[in-house]
Amino acid sequence: MSAATQAARMAPPWRLPLIVLALGLAAWLLLPEQLGLLTRIAVTALFVLSLDLVVGIAGLATLGQAALFGVGAYAAGIFALRLNPDPLMGLAVGTGAGAMLALASGAFLLRYHGFTFLMLTVAVAQIVASLAQKARDWTGGDDGLTGFSMGPLLGRFSFDLEGQTAALYALAVLALGLYIARRVVDSPFGLAVRGIHENRARMAALGTPVIPRLLAMYTLAGALAGTAGALSAQTNAIVGLDSLSFALSAEALVMLVLGGAGRLHGALIGAVVFTLLHHTAASINPYHWLFIIGVALMGVVLMPPQKAWDWLRTRLGAKA
Amino acid sequence: MNGVLLETRELDKRYGGLHVTRKVSLQLHAGDRLALIGPNGAGKTTLVNQISGTVAPSSGSVWLAGVDVTQRSQAQRVRAGLVRTFQITTLAPHLPVQRQVELALFEREGLTGRAWRSIDGYPELGAEAQALLRHLGLGAHAGWPTERLAYGEQRLVEMALALALRPKVLLLDEPMAGVPQGEGARLLAALDALPGDLAVLIIEHDMDLVFRLARRIVVLAEGAVIADGTPDAIRNDPIVRGAYLGH
Amino acid sequence: MQLLANVLIDGLAYGMVLFIIAVGLSVTLGLMRFVNLAHGAFAMIGGYAAALLTREAQWSFWVAVPAALALTAAIGALLEALVLRHLYRRSELEQVLFTIGLAFFLIALTNALAGPQVQLIVLPPLLAQPVDLGFRTLPAQRLLVIGAGLLVAAAAAWTVTRTRFGVWLRAAVDHPDTAATLGIPIRTVQCASFAAGAGLAGLGGVLGAELMPLEPYYALKYLVLVLVVVAVGGMGSLPGSLLAAVVLGTVETASKYLASEWGNLFFFLAMAVLLAWRPNGLLKR
């Protein structure tokens, strides 16, 4: 067995965002017909990234992350409709809305563990969704929030019909969100949260204030989810009740697991693969889609991707 | 200051009809080496849990360096210098050993609220962690996830974490428990080399270890202290013999 | 007051359906600590079997339903023995994900085998009539549902407290490690309980078919409601589940009759309040 006298050093935090920017730019240049899809992938990736902070890093299984996304979306939409169509201000508003809901609900939710916590996240999300449906005057209710259009980004770049501005905007926000997430996860705070995930009793025995740390991470995740929601509202010019739905939370969880939770890049991989697959399969019978996803999920649990990669590597290594 | 670092006053705990801790009053001074022994089910771990703050007592109080910490959380007591280890190894399984020790150091220095600079950006703490691990003979495995270590080495990591926090009072809950025959030497050496001014309370069943380390022994039976004295006095105490033989 | 009576009766019936389905999930969670999000599929399978037997094979309702339950229980037993038992030691999240995948798979399979349309169960004429109880007339179907719920609760209580299997079950739940050393056949207890829970879910699917229409998405659509009942009632606590189901069923029915623009807000609000107040279950402290 190899000796390892030092823990592996952290990768520089700008590396992954730069890779994402490079790939995104390449796609933007080479696939001008698919900019809508590219935007959707970027928004989804940011959302799943926010979920990774809660599920993968902090170890809190949640099925209510969509509430934070939807709240950001509605906040940004209402802001653009009633106050100011500037995209960056709207982005800030959406981010703030997600953070505030996460802070408020997290302070309540984090007193519970395991299955109870999971069910309470569902409850909170459903309550928010019901409230949004009821408040038709603000949210448009079942019909959705429409009628707002975004002003030019930074005062210069208007959102064109081909979606060029939107795609670059979404990519840039994703890269920035990724950079922030990377820095936070690799910081002492991030390490402490990972420690809490792996063994809460151990962290309490080290003197860590467990709940405040988890709440801080949950709030950050809420902020990023709100950012993703705001992006979605701004690039689609519509916000529907499905942005608060249980189905969205469940989908994000599936994407995260398929891509691999806990390392941040897994969230991106899951989002990209799942969205692309769903896009191509959209014309096929939706039941076939469920069949594929169902088998994939069962397969991933029975044979986790990490183990599969290891197995593959040892097979190839043995041959060489 | 009369040097009493840890004191319990009439600590009492009931679980429904079960009286597990009966008005236990103890005092620990700087440099003490106190062994807490007793038959199985005497309530030793429960007592330690109440001292460390993992469990709340039904009545009575815990005092740390003259301050009443009974209402304080475990984390607060740790920050005040009261550290414990666990009978069953409690480590973060996937974190590399070095990172876990660094976590203890970050916690000690109050840095776990810092969310921007990378953990590699604190070279002094990294060096301290590595030095501590080398001191305990764990240097070769610093990069391994803790679950890959042999059980005896994991117990050493538990000790390393406790020491990294620079405690004033250290509660060791059966440090040798479950350690296979050949792996105990380094752990014993570490126990021998604990800082001189540290107040240590150790729960142990291994009598050889107890008589090797302890300068004072407290015997607990059915939740109450039945004897408190030097190793020789305890060895010859008929009440103690009765308590052990009676079970 | 007529409205109040309707709300209470319909709420009680709805609650009974939720309870009957929830029994299996609660036992599984309490006994095997296994989160089975495919549990709704058993309700669906039971309902579908009854529908197909009464409609296609023209069996009598009173024969088709027991057959459907037996089939569902058998499928549950097979699933448990062959696949699910290997997941008992896995993390909560892994269990959640596997069983969601299984639910997706079963939804797709159901659609492939029986199509996407709603399945109707042919009720015998006996059940379509109103029954005069003296102080009120009730649709017979409602009476059947409420009666079935009480019967299931009584049977469960009797099994747990009066039979050897019940002793085994309680020992296995409360003291899992010692139970095996005492010679209790843990695997049998687990598999049998799981199968019984599946069968009961099937019964719930049949009885609730009017309120919860049988179509392929059934497996996941009503799962949240059942999960809520189990969470609020407390894992492994059948009396708790009964109480939770009746309370929440009545809240949901009242909300549908009196405040339908609010959607299921009150259901989840009630759930959050109850769960926050008693996180380990209504009847546990």
Tens of pLDDT, residue by residue over B10-35, are: 999 998 888 899 999 999 999 999 99
Residues 6+ apart with CB under 8 A from A182: A13, A16, A17, A264
For residue A211, the distance in angstroms to the closest alpha carbon of chain B comes to 11
For strands B4-15 and B18-29, give the pairing.
Answer: antiparallel
Answer whether A186 sits within 8 Å of B118, measured CB to CB: yes
List the Cα angle A21/A23/A26 in 5-degree steps: 105
Calculate mean pLDDT across residues C203-209. Answer: 92
Instruction: Give the chain C residue whose CA is nearest to the CA of A55.
Output: C93
- Count of domains observed in chain B: 1
Which residue, chain included where needed, has tokens 């020790």?
A: B101
User: Which of B72, B100, B112 would best serve as a mutation to test chain A binding (most A beta carbons within 10 A)?
Assistant: B112
User: Which of B86, B90, B118, B147 would best serve as a mutation to test chain A binding (most A beta carbons within 10 A)?
Assistant: B118
Cβ-based contacts under 8 A for chains A and B: 129
Higher-confidence position of C174 and B189:
B189
In chain A, residues with a C-beta closer than 8 Å to the C-beta of B115 are 183-184, 187-190, 216
SS (H, E, C) chain A: CCCCCCCCCCCCCCHHHHHHHHHHHHHHHHCHHHHHHHHHHHHHHHHHHHHHHHHHHCCCCCCCHHHHHHHHHHHHHHHHHHCCCCHHHHHHHHHHHHHHHHHHHHHHHCCCCHHHHHHHHHHHHHHHHHHHHHCHHHHCHHHCECCCCCCCECCCECCCCCCHHHHHHHHHHHHHHHHHHHHHHCCHHHHHHHHHHHCHHHHHHCCCCHHHHHHHHHHHHHHHHHHHHHHHHHHHCCECHHHHCHHHHHHHHHHHHHHCCCCCHHHHHHHHHHHHHHHHHCCCCHHHHHHHHHHHHHHHHHCCHHHHHHHHHHHHHHHC
- Amino acid code (one letter) for B100: Q
In chain C, residues with a C-beta closer than 8 Å to the C-beta of A293 are 101, 104
B abuts A (3+ Cβ pairs < 8 Å): yes
Q: Subunits that touch chain B (at least 3 Cβ pairs < 8 angstroms)? A: A
For residue B87, give its domain range.
4-91+150-246
Q: Dump pLDDT digits (tens) for B156-171.
A: 999 999 999 999 999 9
Indicate the average pLDDT of chain B: 89
- Amino acid code (one letter) for C24: G
Q: Is the sign of the CA dihedral B225, B230, B235, B239 positive or negative?
A: negative
Cβ atoms of C259 and C76 closer than 8 Å = no
User: Which of C36, C93, C94, C222 would best serve as a mutation to test chain A binding (most A beta carbons within 10 A)?
Assistant: C93
Residues 6+ apart with CB under 8 A from C143: C131
> Quick one: what percent of chain B has pLDDT higher than 90?
55
Q: Reduce the DSSP state of residue B117 to 3 states and report it.
A: coil
Helices vs. strands in chain C: H and E counts, helices first: 13, 2
In chain C, residues with a C-beta closer than 8 Å to the C-beta of A115 are 29, 35, 92, 231, 235
Q: Dump pLDDT digits (tens) for C12-37.
A: 999 999 999 999 899 888 878 888 99
Instruction: Give the chain A residue whose CA is nearest to the CA of B166.
Output: A206
**Architecture of the domain made up of C2-121+140-277:** Orthogonal Bundle (1.10)
Q: Does B70 touch chain A (CB under 8 A)?
A: no
Name the residue ranges covered by the structural domains of chain C. Answer: 2-121+140-277
A abuts C (3+ Cβ pairs < 8 Å): yes
Q: Dump pLDDT digits (tens) for B128-154.
A: 999 999 988 888 889 999 999 988 899
At residue A158, the pLDDT reads 86
At residue A223, the pLDDT reads 98
At residue A186, the pLDDT reads 95
At residue A55, the pLDDT reads 95
* Minimal Cβ distance to B142: which of A6, A10, A194: A6
Give Cα separations from B123 to A5, B49, B106 (angstroms): 15, 35, 12
Answer whether C268 sits within 8 Å of A302, measured CB to CB: no
At residue B1, the pLDDT reads 44
Answer whether B108 sits within 8 Å of A209, measured CB to CB: no
- Kindly indicate the confidence band of residue C232, based on its pLDDT and cuts at 50, 70 and 90: very high
- Amino acid code (one letter) for A284: I
Answer whether B116 sits within 8 Å of A6, measured CB to CB: no
Q: What is the spatial distance between Cα C76 and Cα C59, in angstroms, rounded to a whole number? A: 23
Answer whether C90 sits within 8 Å of A301, measured CB to CB: yes
Calculate mean pLDDT across residues C247-268. Answer: 89
List the Cα angle A239/A242/A248 in 5-degree steps: 125
User: Which of A5, A14, A214 would best serve as a mutation to test chain B binding (most B beta carbons within 10 A)?
Assistant: A5
- Kindly indicate the confidence band of residue B177, based on its pLDDT and cuts at 50, 70 and 90: confident
For residue B73, the distance in angstroms to the closest alpha carbon of chain A comes to 9
Answer whether A134 sits within 8 Å of C262, measured CB to CB: yes
Backbone angles phi, psi at B2, to 5 degrees: -85, 10
Checking if the pLDDT of B187 tops 50, the result is yes
- Whether B101 is covered by a domain: the verdict is no
In chain A, residues with a C-beta closer than 8 Å to the C-beta of B95 are 191, 194-195, 198
CB atoms within 10 A of CB C44: 30
* Minimal Cβ distance to A184: which of B86, B99, B115: B115
Answer whether B142 sits within 8 Å of A187, measured CB to CB: no
- Amino acid code (one letter) for C230: V
Q: Does B71 touch chain A (CB under 8 A)?
A: no
Q: Reduce the DSSP state of residue B221 to 3 states and report it.
A: strand
Per residue of chain A (320 residues), give pLDDT as tens. 456 778 888 889 899 999 999 999 999 999 988 899 999 999 999 999 999 999 999 999 899 999 999 999 999 999 999 999 999 999 999 999 999 999 999 999 999 988 889 999 999 999 999 999 999 999 998 889 998 888 888 888 888 877 888 999 999 999 999 999 999 999 999 999 999 999 999 999 999 999 999 999 999 999 999 999 999 999 999 999 999 988 899 889 989 988 888 889 999 999 999 998 888 776 677 778 888 888 988 988 888 766 666 666 666 654 43
- Whether B110 is covered by a domain: the verdict is no
Backbone angles phi, psi at A161, to 5 degrees: -70, -25
At residue A320, the pLDDT reads 39
At residue A307, the pLDDT reads 67
Checking if the pLDDT of B185 tops 90, the result is no
Answer whether C107 sits within 8 Å of A287, measured CB to CB: yes
Indicate the average pLDDT of chain C: 88
- Whether B32 is covered by a domain: the verdict is yes
At residue A283, the pLDDT reads 65
At residue A308, the pLDDT reads 66
Compute the half-sphere exposure of residue C134: CA atoms within 13 Å on the CB side of its CA.
Answer: 0
- Amino acid code (one letter) for A247: A
Q: What is the spatial distance between Cα B96 and Cα B100, in angstroms, rounded to a whole number? A: 6
**CB burial string C146-179: b at 16+ within 10 A, e below:** bebbeebbeebeebbeeeeeeebbebbbeeeeeb
Calculate mean pLDDT across residues C51-75. Answer: 92
- Whether B56 is covered by a domain: the verdict is yes
Higher-confidence position of C211 and B64:
B64
* Minimal Cβ distance to A301: which of C97, C106, C264: C97
Q: What is the spatial distance between Cα A92 and Cα A80, in angstroms, rounded to a whole number? A: 12
Residues 6+ apart with CB under 8 A from A285: none
